Structure 1
Amino acid sequence: MYKKMSWPLTLYFDGECPLCAREIKLLRRHAVKDRLLFVDISSGAFDAKALEFTFEQMQSSLHARFADGRWVTGLDATLWSWRAAGLGFWATPLTWNVFRPLLEFGYRLFCRLRPHLAWLPHPDSGSRCVDNRCAVPTSKPASDDQPTLKKK
Protein backbone atom coordinates (compact mmCIF):
# COMPACT_ATOMS: atom_id res chain seq x y z
CA MET A 1 0.00 0.00 0.00
CA TYR A 2 2.68 2.51 1.04
CA LYS A 3 6.35 2.16 0.19
CA LYS A 4 7.59 4.13 3.20
CA MET A 5 5.64 4.48 6.42
CA SER A 6 5.56 7.80 8.15
CA TRP A 7 5.22 6.87 11.81
CA PRO A 8 3.60 7.40 14.17
CA LEU A 9 0.13 6.32 13.17
CA THR A 10 -2.62 8.07 15.13
CA LEU A 11 -5.68 5.89 15.62
CA TYR A 12 -9.02 7.63 16.21
CA PHE A 13 -11.39 5.27 18.06
CA ASP A 14 -14.67 5.37 19.97
CA GLY A 15 -13.81 4.58 23.58
CA GLU A 16 -17.50 4.19 24.47
CA CYS A 17 -17.79 1.14 22.19
CA PRO A 18 -17.13 -1.96 24.33
CA LEU A 19 -15.71 -4.05 21.45
CA CYS A 20 -13.59 -1.16 20.19
CA ALA A 21 -12.27 -0.50 23.70
CA ARG A 22 -11.22 -4.15 24.02
CA GLU A 23 -9.25 -3.95 20.78
CA ILE A 24 -7.61 -0.68 21.85
CA LYS A 25 -6.67 -2.21 25.21
CA LEU A 26 -4.90 -5.02 23.34
CA LEU A 27 -3.17 -2.60 20.97
CA ARG A 28 -2.04 -0.36 23.85
CA ARG A 29 -0.37 -3.33 25.55
CA HIS A 30 1.75 -3.96 22.45
CA ALA A 31 2.13 -0.47 20.99
CA VAL A 32 5.47 1.27 20.80
CA LYS A 33 4.98 4.94 21.71
CA ASP A 34 6.63 6.38 18.60
CA ARG A 35 4.68 4.10 16.22
CA LEU A 36 1.07 4.15 17.46
CA LEU A 37 -0.87 6.93 19.20
CA PHE A 38 -4.50 6.84 20.34
CA VAL A 39 -7.25 9.47 20.28
CA ASP A 40 -10.65 8.70 21.81
CA ILE A 41 -13.29 10.46 19.73
CA SER A 42 -15.85 10.04 22.53
CA SER A 43 -13.77 12.34 24.74
CA GLY A 44 -15.27 15.77 25.31
CA ALA A 45 -11.94 17.29 24.24
CA PHE A 46 -12.07 15.71 20.76
CA ASP A 47 -12.87 18.11 17.90
CA ALA A 48 -13.62 16.40 14.58
CA LYS A 49 -13.93 19.75 12.83
CA ALA A 50 -10.26 20.48 13.54
CA LEU A 51 -9.48 17.45 11.35
CA GLU A 52 -11.97 18.62 8.69
CA PHE A 53 -14.42 15.83 9.49
CA THR A 54 -17.77 15.69 11.20
CA PHE A 55 -18.21 13.65 14.34
CA GLU A 56 -20.58 11.41 12.37
CA GLN A 57 -17.88 10.69 9.77
CA MET A 58 -15.34 9.84 12.45
CA GLN A 59 -17.84 7.61 14.22
CA SER A 60 -18.97 5.81 11.04
CA SER A 61 -15.69 3.89 10.66
CA LEU A 62 -12.24 3.60 12.16
CA HIS A 63 -9.86 6.37 11.07
CA ALA A 64 -6.08 6.55 11.32
CA ARG A 65 -3.58 9.13 10.12
CA PHE A 66 0.12 8.74 9.43
CA ALA A 67 2.53 11.45 10.53
CA ASP A 68 2.74 12.77 6.96
CA GLY A 69 -1.03 13.40 6.92
CA ARG A 70 -2.13 10.34 4.93
CA TRP A 71 -5.43 8.88 6.13
CA VAL A 72 -6.56 5.26 6.16
CA THR A 73 -10.05 4.16 7.19
CA GLY A 74 -12.02 1.02 7.95
CA LEU A 75 -10.17 -2.25 7.48
CA ASP A 76 -7.05 -0.42 6.32
CA ALA A 77 -6.98 1.54 9.59
CA THR A 78 -7.28 -1.77 11.44
CA LEU A 79 -4.51 -3.35 9.37
CA TRP A 80 -2.05 -0.49 9.86
CA SER A 81 -2.81 -0.05 13.57
CA TRP A 82 -2.12 -3.75 14.16
CA ARG A 83 1.08 -3.49 12.13
CA ALA A 84 2.14 -0.41 14.10
CA ALA A 85 1.60 -2.36 17.33
CA GLY A 86 3.76 -5.22 16.04
CA LEU A 87 0.77 -7.53 15.59
CA GLY A 88 0.68 -7.45 11.79
CA PHE A 89 0.69 -11.22 11.59
CA TRP A 90 -2.82 -11.32 13.07
CA ALA A 91 -4.08 -8.74 10.56
CA THR A 92 -2.50 -10.42 7.51
CA PRO A 93 -5.84 -11.86 6.29
CA LEU A 94 -6.96 -8.26 5.72
CA THR A 95 -4.45 -8.11 2.86
CA TRP A 96 -5.73 -11.22 1.07
CA ASN A 97 -7.68 -10.07 -2.00
CA VAL A 98 -9.75 -13.24 -2.10
CA PHE A 99 -11.25 -12.51 1.36
CA ARG A 100 -11.30 -8.72 1.17
CA PRO A 101 -14.89 -8.33 -0.19
CA LEU A 102 -16.27 -10.58 2.55
CA LEU A 103 -14.26 -8.78 5.23
CA GLU A 104 -15.42 -5.37 3.89
CA PHE A 105 -19.04 -6.55 4.05
CA GLY A 106 -18.56 -7.79 7.63
CA TYR A 107 -16.89 -4.53 8.64
CA ARG A 108 -19.71 -2.41 7.17
CA LEU A 109 -22.25 -4.58 9.00
CA PHE A 110 -20.34 -4.17 12.26
CA CYS A 111 -20.23 -0.37 11.76
CA ARG A 112 -24.01 -0.28 11.38
CA LEU A 113 -24.58 -2.45 14.46
CA ARG A 114 -21.89 -0.89 16.66
CA PRO A 115 -24.01 1.96 18.10
CA HIS A 116 -26.45 -0.64 19.42
CA LEU A 117 -23.78 -2.63 21.30
CA ALA A 118 -23.30 -0.20 24.18
CA TRP A 119 -24.99 -2.71 26.51
CA LEU A 120 -22.05 -5.14 26.19
CA PRO A 121 -19.60 -5.25 29.11
CA HIS A 122 -16.95 -2.56 28.75
CA PRO A 123 -13.35 -3.44 29.69
CA ASP A 124 -13.15 -0.27 31.81
CA SER A 125 -16.41 -0.94 33.64
CA GLY A 126 -14.84 -0.67 37.09
CA SER A 127 -13.45 2.78 36.38
CA ARG A 128 -16.91 3.92 35.28
CA CYS A 129 -18.40 3.25 38.71
CA VAL A 130 -18.33 5.69 41.64
CA ASP A 131 -20.16 5.26 44.95
CA ASN A 132 -21.94 2.10 43.74
CA ARG A 133 -23.34 3.99 40.71
CA CYS A 134 -22.20 3.29 37.19
CA ALA A 135 -22.53 5.38 34.08
CA VAL A 136 -23.52 3.23 31.13
CA PRO A 137 -23.68 4.79 27.67
CA THR A 138 -26.97 4.37 25.87
CA SER A 139 -27.21 3.37 22.24
CA LYS A 140 -26.77 6.51 20.21
CA PRO A 141 -27.28 7.36 16.58
CA ALA A 142 -24.29 8.63 14.64
CA SER A 143 -25.71 12.16 14.73
CA ASP A 144 -25.16 12.71 18.47
CA ASP A 145 -22.14 14.90 19.16
CA GLN A 146 -21.60 13.77 22.73
CA PRO A 147 -22.14 10.39 24.39
CA THR A 148 -25.25 10.18 26.55
CA LEU A 149 -24.89 8.53 29.93
CA LYS A 150 -27.66 6.72 31.73
CA LYS A 151 -27.38 6.32 35.52
CA LYS A 152 -28.28 2.94 37.00
Structure 2
Amino acid sequence: MYNKVKWPLTLYFDGDCPLCAREIRLLRRHAAAQRLLFVDISSGEFDATTLGFTFGQMQSLLHARFADGHWVTGLDATLWSWRAAGLGFWATPLTWRALRPLLEVGYRLFCRLRPALAWLPHPDGGRRCVDNRCAVPESKPSPKEAPGLKTKQN
Protein backbone atom coordinates (compact mmCIF):
# COMPACT_ATOMS: atom_id res chain seq x y z
CA MET A 1 0.00 0.00 0.00
CA TYR A 2 2.40 2.71 1.16
CA ASN A 3 5.84 1.31 1.88
CA LYS A 4 7.93 4.16 3.27
CA VAL A 5 5.74 6.06 5.69
CA LYS A 6 6.74 9.68 6.26
CA TRP A 7 5.40 10.70 9.66
CA PRO A 8 3.66 12.68 10.90
CA LEU A 9 0.26 12.02 9.41
CA THR A 10 -2.05 15.04 9.53
CA LEU A 11 -5.67 14.02 10.00
CA TYR A 12 -8.36 16.46 8.83
CA PHE A 13 -11.56 15.81 10.80
CA ASP A 14 -14.91 17.46 11.47
CA GLY A 15 -14.90 18.45 15.12
CA ASP A 16 -18.62 19.26 15.01
CA CYS A 17 -19.43 15.60 14.32
CA PRO A 18 -20.11 13.87 17.67
CA LEU A 19 -18.95 10.43 16.49
CA CYS A 20 -15.87 11.87 14.79
CA ALA A 21 -14.99 13.87 17.91
CA ARG A 22 -15.14 10.71 20.03
CA GLU A 23 -12.78 8.90 17.69
CA ILE A 24 -10.38 11.86 17.66
CA ARG A 25 -10.41 11.95 21.46
CA LEU A 26 -9.36 8.31 21.52
CA LEU A 27 -6.64 8.86 18.92
CA ARG A 28 -5.29 11.94 20.76
CA ARG A 29 -4.94 9.91 23.97
CA HIS A 30 -2.74 7.36 22.24
CA ALA A 31 -0.89 9.24 19.50
CA ALA A 32 2.51 10.85 19.79
CA ALA A 33 2.71 14.34 18.25
CA GLN A 34 5.56 13.29 15.97
CA ARG A 35 3.30 10.65 14.38
CA LEU A 36 -0.21 12.13 14.26
CA LEU A 37 -1.39 15.73 13.96
CA PHE A 38 -5.00 16.91 13.99
CA VAL A 39 -6.75 19.67 12.03
CA ASP A 40 -10.40 20.43 12.76
CA ILE A 41 -12.04 21.43 9.48
CA SER A 42 -15.01 22.91 11.36
CA SER A 43 -12.72 25.52 12.86
CA GLY A 44 -13.26 29.05 11.57
CA GLU A 45 -9.55 29.31 10.74
CA PHE A 46 -9.57 26.30 8.42
CA ASP A 47 -9.56 27.02 4.68
CA ALA A 48 -9.82 23.93 2.49
CA THR A 49 -8.82 25.88 -0.61
CA THR A 50 -5.25 26.18 0.71
CA LEU A 51 -5.06 22.40 0.29
CA GLY A 52 -6.69 22.36 -3.15
CA PHE A 53 -10.09 21.17 -1.93
CA THR A 54 -13.50 22.64 -1.23
CA PHE A 55 -14.96 22.43 2.27
CA GLY A 56 -17.61 20.06 0.89
CA GLN A 57 -14.95 17.72 -0.43
CA MET A 58 -13.09 17.71 2.89
CA GLN A 59 -16.33 17.10 4.76
CA SER A 60 -17.54 14.32 2.46
CA LEU A 61 -14.95 11.83 3.71
CA LEU A 62 -11.97 11.67 6.02
CA HIS A 63 -8.71 13.06 4.64
CA ALA A 64 -5.15 12.62 5.91
CA ARG A 65 -1.79 13.70 4.52
CA PHE A 66 1.64 12.28 5.23
CA ALA A 67 4.65 14.54 5.73
CA ASP A 68 5.78 13.85 2.15
CA GLY A 69 2.46 15.20 0.79
CA HIS A 70 0.88 11.80 0.01
CA TRP A 71 -2.90 11.89 0.67
CA VAL A 72 -5.08 9.04 1.90
CA THR A 73 -8.86 9.29 2.23
CA GLY A 74 -11.82 7.38 3.59
CA LEU A 75 -11.06 4.01 5.11
CA ASP A 76 -7.36 4.39 4.31
CA ALA A 77 -7.25 7.64 6.31
CA THR A 78 -8.90 5.80 9.19
CA LEU A 79 -6.48 2.88 8.93
CA TRP A 80 -3.37 5.07 8.84
CA SER A 81 -4.54 7.37 11.63
CA TRP A 82 -5.12 4.36 13.88
CA ARG A 83 -1.71 2.99 12.93
CA ALA A 84 -0.13 6.37 13.71
CA ALA A 85 -1.75 6.28 17.15
CA GLY A 86 -0.36 2.80 17.80
CA LEU A 87 -3.83 1.25 17.56
CA GLY A 88 -3.44 -0.34 14.15
CA PHE A 89 -4.42 -3.78 15.41
CA TRP A 90 -7.99 -2.43 15.95
CA ALA A 91 -8.12 -1.27 12.32
CA THR A 92 -6.62 -4.46 10.86
CA PRO A 93 -9.98 -5.60 9.39
CA LEU A 94 -9.73 -2.59 7.06
CA THR A 95 -6.87 -4.39 5.32
CA TRP A 96 -8.73 -7.64 4.73
CA ARG A 97 -9.40 -7.94 0.99
CA ALA A 98 -12.53 -10.03 1.36
CA LEU A 99 -14.10 -7.60 3.84
CA ARG A 100 -12.95 -4.34 2.25
CA PRO A 101 -15.81 -3.92 -0.30
CA LEU A 102 -18.42 -4.33 2.44
CA LEU A 103 -16.57 -1.88 4.69
CA GLU A 104 -16.38 0.64 1.80
CA VAL A 105 -20.16 0.46 1.36
CA GLY A 106 -20.65 0.91 5.10
CA TYR A 107 -18.26 3.85 5.18
CA ARG A 108 -20.00 5.59 2.25
CA LEU A 109 -23.36 5.07 3.96
CA PHE A 110 -21.98 6.54 7.18
CA CYS A 111 -20.62 9.56 5.26
CA ARG A 112 -24.05 10.21 3.78
CA LEU A 113 -25.81 9.88 7.14
CA ARG A 114 -23.19 11.68 9.24
CA PRO A 115 -24.61 15.22 8.87
CA ALA A 116 -27.95 14.02 10.23
CA LEU A 117 -26.24 12.72 13.39
CA ALA A 118 -25.50 16.19 14.78
CA TRP A 119 -28.17 15.64 17.44
CA LEU A 120 -26.04 12.99 19.16
CA PRO A 121 -24.32 14.06 22.39
CA HIS A 122 -20.95 15.66 21.65
CA PRO A 123 -18.07 14.57 23.90
CA ASP A 124 -17.21 18.24 24.36
CA GLY A 125 -20.64 19.50 25.37
CA GLY A 126 -19.18 22.94 26.06
CA ARG A 127 -18.67 23.51 22.33
CA ARG A 128 -22.42 23.78 21.98
CA CYS A 129 -23.03 26.06 24.93
CA VAL A 130 -22.66 29.84 24.90
CA ASP A 131 -24.00 32.20 27.60
CA ASN A 132 -25.72 29.33 29.43
CA ARG A 133 -27.61 28.32 26.25
CA CYS A 134 -26.90 25.12 24.40
CA ALA A 135 -27.94 24.24 20.88
CA VAL A 136 -27.42 21.44 18.42
CA PRO A 137 -25.60 22.81 15.37
CA GLU A 138 -27.47 22.88 12.11
CA SER A 139 -26.85 19.84 9.96
CA LYS A 140 -24.30 20.51 7.27
CA PRO A 141 -25.19 19.56 3.72
CA SER A 142 -24.77 15.94 2.83
CA PRO A 143 -22.09 15.14 0.25
CA LYS A 144 -24.93 14.91 -2.26
CA GLU A 145 -25.85 18.54 -1.54
CA ALA A 146 -22.33 19.88 -0.96
CA PRO A 147 -21.17 22.31 -3.63
CA GLY A 148 -18.37 21.21 -5.90
CA LEU A 149 -18.98 17.50 -5.49
CA LYS A 150 -19.95 15.35 -8.41
CA THR A 151 -22.78 13.00 -7.55
CA LYS A 152 -24.52 10.35 -9.54
CA GLN A 153 -27.79 11.60 -11.00
CA ASN A 154 -30.81 9.34 -11.57
TM-score > 0.5 by shorter chain: yes
Answer 1 or 2: which has greater strand percent.
1
Runs of 4+ in 1 over 6 A off after TM superposition: none
| Cα separation, 2, equivalents of 1:48 and 1:126 | 25
Whole-Å Cα distance in 2 between the matches of residues 33 and 138 of structure 1? 32
Q: Which 10-residue stretch deviates more, 64-73 or 118-127?
A: 118-127
What corresponds to 1:27 in structure 2? 27
The gaps in structure 2 that reach 5 residues or longer are 148-154
Q: Per-residue deviation at 1:144?
A: 6.8
1:135 to partner: Cα distance:
3.5
In the alignment, structure 1 segments of 5+ residues that lack a partner are 146-152
Q: Return the letter of the residue paired with 1:138.
A: E
Task: Specify the code of the residue in structure 2 equivalent to 1:123.
Answer: P
RMSD: 1.4
The aligned residue for residue 124 of structure 1 is 124
Equivalent residues in 2 for 1:52-131 (5 A)?
52-131=52-131
Q: Report the TM-score when normalising by structure 2.
A: 0.90
So what's the TM-score if we normalise by structure 1? 0.91
Shift of 1:16: 0.4
Larger mean Cα displacement after TM superposition, 107-116 or 130-139: 130-139
> Alignment identity in percent?
81
Question: Alpha-carbon deviation of 1:13?
Answer: 0.2
